[in-house]
Structure 1
Amino acid sequence: MTKKIVYIAAGLLALNACKIENDIPYPIVEGNIESFAVEGQCAAPDGSGNQAVISTSNRTVTLYVDDTVDLTKLRITQFTVSSEATIQVDSSVCVDYSKFPTAGFETLDNTADTRVNFTNPVKFTLQTYQDYQWTVNVTQIIERNIDVTGQISSVIDTENRIAIIYVSTDTDLSNIQVNTMNLGGASGTVTPDPTTVHDFSSAQQFLVSQGWEDTAKEWTVYVYHSEGSTSTASIFPRTTSATISGNIQSGQTPVISYKETSASNWTELSSSAVTVSGTSYSADITGLTGGTSYQYQVAINGSTVTSESFTTAPATPLTNGGFEDWWSETTGSGRTLWHPGVQGENTYWTTGNEGATIIANSNSVPETEIVYSGTRAACLQTKWLTMKLAAGNLFTGDFQTDGTHGILTLGREFSAFPSTLRMHLKYTTSTISRTPTERDDWDYMKGQNDTCHVYIALTTEKIELRTRRYDIFNKRASSVIAYGEYQSGVDVSGSERNGYAQIDVPLEYYRTNVTPQYLIIVCSSSKYGNLFVGGESSTMYLDEMELIYE
């Protein structure tokens, strides 16, 4: 009877649709850039890797290139897009617009010409049933540096092609020793060889070419005496460590000492802990205590030139890391909806249970029997819920439903620097039996073992993931400061209580000079559960999760 009603309703809708002319709704197929690469691509200045950072939420691609390529005619070597998307680009930025591909490619066709002027951001339009505009930002890294014996500082004016070097007052301007003068970058050339030129009592001219240039341009170099300070210092404190950096006269080595403010004795860093490069130096102080006041000083030739204080970031504990607090409610559909946290308070953790309880009870719930410590643990189970696969999940952030899909906003305010995420885990895998019916390119995963997944990230902004567009967290996004993950495609058990295993997940810091704004932790009984891929009975238990500061 139910099926008959559905068929009749569908027929009436179809007949009614026939009355409407020129109003055929096109399916929503998002046009996304999946990979992007160019010649000369290199690592970002913050050391976060040489892969392009692709943001599907902002529709931007960000990457860096070295000084061997010409930014005005930079060749794209890889450009893959959603399977149904075609590519449109502004003809004015192309070297040969007629030969620019309209379809994505993994390797470059010999007949294609993908050279583009990237001196400014370039916009690409991906066309499906709708148009999606993307912006590609390319930044060229040209490391120009100067090191002269006795140097205090230098100014490099690329627009006017002038370099000014300041040296100590006791330096003979007619007998200058140039150690390095890369005015054209690491791949450029300078003529004559600057190390053979010594008399700078008057300005000297050099011919400078960059790595991709065939012709050289004239630069003028001045050397002056300086009456200013010969040393500067600044410090960036974290929770258990701090980085001191500054400028110093070339040829000198700073001596760095530190102590707790309340202590009487100073600790001197070994000379091997201090890195000096030309007129710059840096050093890491380790073994500090979170939330503690310290003093440091920098000495040159036995005289203290800098003495300052700093306070380390606190060792912030993880909220409800033992998963003891839960509360439940009955939804309008009569289902039981579980929430991690205390009712009436702002919850730190959340789940995608709200989406699952449209047609079934929660599949991310408190566990009272299989616990490691205390009275409760978290039980995350992957289930088939009539229409879609739902993975058991738990994350720091917020969730809202989007039809049968979900919108995850990842991140809770956080400004500390943990070294490790420690947790107690037990996992039973199952065979992957479900993939989205609309994505047959994922069918190859069927028959494989399902994989549990836990990851942690420190970021400068919240991250939004939408299951409707199959978003995956990008650990190399520009907002990610540190990242660590654990995954297993086999059963996991240990010798701890109730078969739990202690798992330590170290964080890799991509940048150590930026303070985090948000903490993201995501736990799932099926790694690709947000893509509706997994096994129907994969189960993960989590208990006593904590942040370690070492």
Structure 2
Amino acid sequence: MENNMIKDITVRLALLLILCLLPACIKNDLPYPTVKLYITGMTVEGQVGDAIISNEERKVTVELEETVNKAKVKVNTFEITEGATATIAKDSVIDFTTPYDVTLSLYQDYTWTIEANQNISRVFNVAGQIGSAIFYQELREASVNIPKEKGLGNIEVTDLKLGPEGSTYNGASGIPTLEWEKKGAFAMTKVRVAYSDFIDEEWTLYVNLTDVKVGINRVDAWTKVAWIDGFGREGENNGCEYKKEGDTDWIKVEDSELTHDGGKFIARVVHLQANTTYVCRVFSGDEYSEEVTFTTGSELQPENYSFEYTSGTSPLYLYAEGQEMWWDTGNKGSSTMGKNVTTVDTDYKHTGNQSLLLSSQFVGIGSIGKFAAGNVFAGKYLKTEGTDGILGFGRPFISRPTKLKGYIKYNCGVVDKGGDKIANGQNDIGTVYVALTDGDGVAYDDGSKWSCIIKTKEKDRQLFDKNASNVFAYGEMILNESTQGDGLIPFEIELDYKATDRVTTRIVIVASASYYGDFFQGSTSSKMWLDDITLEYDYE
């Protein structure tokens, strides 16, 4: 009896011990949700313009006034994804002399980089100089050329600015007295540049003798426009002439098409012919440069730009049987619910038999589904993930147009599928935009390459960024109300170029009846008609 009682107590204690230890053996195998974290806004003390935020590169770029101490920049505002934390906050003081990494955290960590650019406007002019000064910021050197016959006996500095506005030079405001040391074909001098308590630098200035008094640095030939970068003697009559190869008479570029910076100047030559070879030269006073030959590019247009060719029914595609796709839409996704958000319409058109109709609508059954914007883009709908899409933006392209033109009609609906981007009851927003990109492109899983890859799924969201490093020209049209009249009206969008010498590899053209369609927000009554979408290659 007693043995049985002892055995029973032992069993009970063993069971109790197992129950106590059991929770420690249970693993939490439920994964944390994946939430991408973003910096949504930022301002700093002494900032110029708005911060440029690239979600794709996880990078924020701010521009600073030249008088700001880059090593001690105060953060005025810092906004991030709701619920996330960051390694900096409002009122932090950051050293932006090198790119600054910030970690955003929620369920995962995401590293962002904040970069501050600071452009100090520098000037070094001497009387009779040729072209403009060249600045070597890292070496703290500046160099300018003068004609050989002028000599180095009487160097007159007419303007000097090597630091922020208000800097002193050799302890004085304005142009100091300089002692030049002659070294054969050049002369040099030292200047101490000081500003506030954070700039104290020694710069070396060079004045060089040269036999070359006029010349061409570079020609950027587009299709009907060319940019000729020349130099001459400051104070002389500087300009540019051009002609078709083989012609006798030179054509002088109008003064209104010239921009001058000391002895350096850029001539914009307009109204050229595509695929044509020209000869150009620049002049300074009575002297002319050597002639330079250049050839203009091709006048390319989007394929199926009048949207006359289609195939299929669900989804409807914007190319005929046997043709290759150039345009695509969200139809591949919406057709899974038996709807095309983009169709054609014979009632409204500019030329041909039909126009393209972009119809924003709810796509689903009953209350199950999503709002979808009527849309069209140069690229391809790559994949559907659940109810979200993955798109490739951008088609191969080599030309540099000046404008996107076309015909449009927009019926602006009242938002009934609102959210955090646009509220119910507001007018919807339509948009058309165009961009040029360079570089090798962004690769997708199948090996195809695009200007960018769009992902609409919230946790992986990746949208087009006009400030991305590969975008060098961009223009857009925003429609906040319905267009006037019953039919299509003409529109044009001028491309704003960051540089004239970057070479196009792809073009992006996108139109949407609902601006916030990527966030599944807008009006189910918004409609946009488009026809004859073409590119212009000249300036007026």
Give the TM-score normalised by structure 1.
0.81
Alignment of 1:56-455 (within 5 A): 56-88=55-87, 100-101=88-89, 108=90, 112=91, 114-152=92-130, 156=135, 158=137, 161-191=140-170, 192=172, 195=175, 197=177, 200-202=180-182, 204-209=189-194, 211-213=195-197, 216-227=200-211, 231-328=215-312, 336-386=314-364, 387-399=369-381, 400-435=383-418, 441-442=420-421, 445-455=423-433
Taking structure 1 as reference, are residues 21 and 517 closer, same or farther at Cα in structure 2, changes over 3 Å only? same
Q: Is the 8 A contact 1:144 1:186 kept in 2?
A: no
User: How many angstroms apart in 1 are the aligned matches of 2:108 and 2:64?
Assistant: 32
User: How many angstroms apart in 1 are the aligned matches of 2:372 and 2:240?
Assistant: 55
Taking structure 1 as reference, are residues 193 and 390 closer, same or farther at Cα in structure 2, changes over 3 Å only? closer
Could you give the per-residue CA deviations for residues 152-183 of structure 1, whole angstroms, max 9, x where no partner exists? 47565555655555432222433211012223
User: How many angstroms apart in 2 are the aligned matches of 1:373 and 1:246?
Assistant: 44
Q: Is the 8 A contact 2:436 2:474 kept in 1?
A: yes
Residue in 2 that maps onto 1:486: 477
- Corresponding residue SS for 1:72: coil
- Corresponding residue SS for 1:233: strand
Residue in 2 that maps onto 1:15: none
Match of 1:549 among 533, 537, 540: 537
Q: Is the 8 A contact 2:67 2:164 kept in 1?
A: no
Q: Is the 8 A contact 2:69 2:198 kept in 1?
A: no
User: How many angstroms apart in 1 are the aligned matches of 2:137 and 2:467?
Assistant: 31
Measure how far apart 1:445 and its partner are: 1.3
Q: 1:541 is matched by which residue type in structure 2?
A: W
Measure how far apart 1:412 and its partner are: 1.0
Residue in 1 that maps onto 2:436: 458
User: How many angstroms apart in 2 are the aligned matches of 1:359 and 1:549?
Assistant: 41
Could you give the per-residue CA deviations for residues 111-160 of structure 1, whole angstroms, max 9, x where no partner exists? x3x11122222211111211111122223323333111233475655556
Measure how far apart 1:73 and its partner are: 2.0
Q: Is the 8 A contact 1:233 1:245 kept in 2?
A: yes
Q: Is the 8 A contact 1:231 1:249 kept in 2?
A: no
Could you give the per-residue CA deviations for residues 492-526 of structure 1, whole angstroms, max 9, x where no partner exists? 3536xxx3333333333343332332221112222
Q: Is the 8 A contact 1:176 1:199 kept in 2?
A: no
Measure how far apart 1:326 and its partner are: 1.0
Measure how far apart 1:222 and its partner are: 4.7
Taking structure 1 as reference, are residues 401 and 188 closer, same or farther at Cα in structure 2, changes over 3 Å only? farther
Q: 1:299 is matched by which residue type in structure 2?
A: F
User: How many angstroms apart in 2 are the aligned matches of 1:454 and 1:163?
Assistant: 45
User: How many angstroms apart in 2 are the aligned matches of 1:350 and 1:316?
Assistant: 19
Q: 1:463 is matched by which residue type in structure 2?
A: C
User: How many angstroms apart in 2 are the aligned matches of 1:358 and 1:314?
Assistant: 40
Q: Is the 8 A contact 2:216 2:281 kept in 1?
A: no
Alignment of 1:506-545 (within 5 A): 506-545=494-533
Measure how far apart 1:51 and its partner are: 2.9
Q: Is the 8 A contact 2:151 2:209 kept in 1?
A: no
- Measured on the aligned residues, the alpha-carbon RMSD in Å equals 2.8
Q: Is the 8 A contact 2:147 2:213 kept in 1?
A: no
User: How many angstroms apart in 2 are the aligned matches of 1:207 and 1:23?
Assistant: 65
Could you give the per-residue CA deviations for residues 290-315 of structure 1, whole angstroms, max 9, x where no partner exists? 22221111123323222111112222
Measure how far apart 1:196 and its partner are: 5.4
Measure how far apart 1:262 and its partner are: 4.0
Could you give the per-residue CA deviations for residues 350-400 of structure 1, whole angstroms, max 9, x where no partner exists? 011111122223221233454433223222212212311112111101222
Q: 1:416 is matched by which residue type in structure 2?
A: S
- Corresponding residue SS for 1:453: strand
Taking structure 1 as reference, are residues 433 and 296 closer, same or farther at Cα in structure 2, changes over 3 Å only? same
Q: 2:47 is matched by which residue type in structure 1?
A: Q
Residue in 2 that maps onto 1:332: none
User: How many angstroms apart in 2 are the aligned matches of 1:301 and 1:25?
Assistant: 75
User: How many angstroms apart in 2 are the aligned matches of 1:53 and 1:256?
Assistant: 37
Q: Is the 8 A contact 2:214 2:287 kept in 1?
A: no
| Residue 37 of structure 2 is aligned to residue 31 of structure 1 | yes
Measure how far apart 1:241 and its partner are: 1.7
Which structure 2 residue ranges, 5 or more long, are not aligned?
1-24, 183-187, 442-450
Q: Is the 8 A contact 1:184 1:190 kept in 2?
A: no
Q: 1:60 is matched by which residue type in structure 2?
A: K
Q: 1:252 is matched by which residue type in structure 2?
A: E
Measure how far apart 1:348 and its partner are: 0.5
Taking structure 1 as reference, are residues 167 and 220 closer, same or farther at Cα in structure 2, changes over 3 Å only? same
Aligned length, in residue pairs: 489
Q: 2:160 is matched by which residue type in structure 1?
A: M
Q: Is the 8 A contact 1:67 1:212 kept in 2?
A: no
Q: 1:40 is matched by which residue type in structure 2?
A: G
Residue in 2 that maps onto 1:105: none
Give the TM-score normalised by structure 2.
0.82
Which structure 1 residue ranges, 5 or more long, are not aligned?
1-18, 43-49, 89-99, 102-107, 330-335
Structure number with larger C-alpha Rg = 2
Q: Which region of structure 1 is more displaced relative to structure 2, 180-189 or 282-291?
A: 180-189
Q: Is the 8 A contact 1:407 1:467 kept in 2?
A: yes
Q: Is the 8 A contact 1:67 1:187 kept in 2?
A: no
User: How many angstroms apart in 2 are the aligned matches of 1:57 and 1:222?
Assistant: 43
Measure how far apart 1:267 and its partner are: 0.9
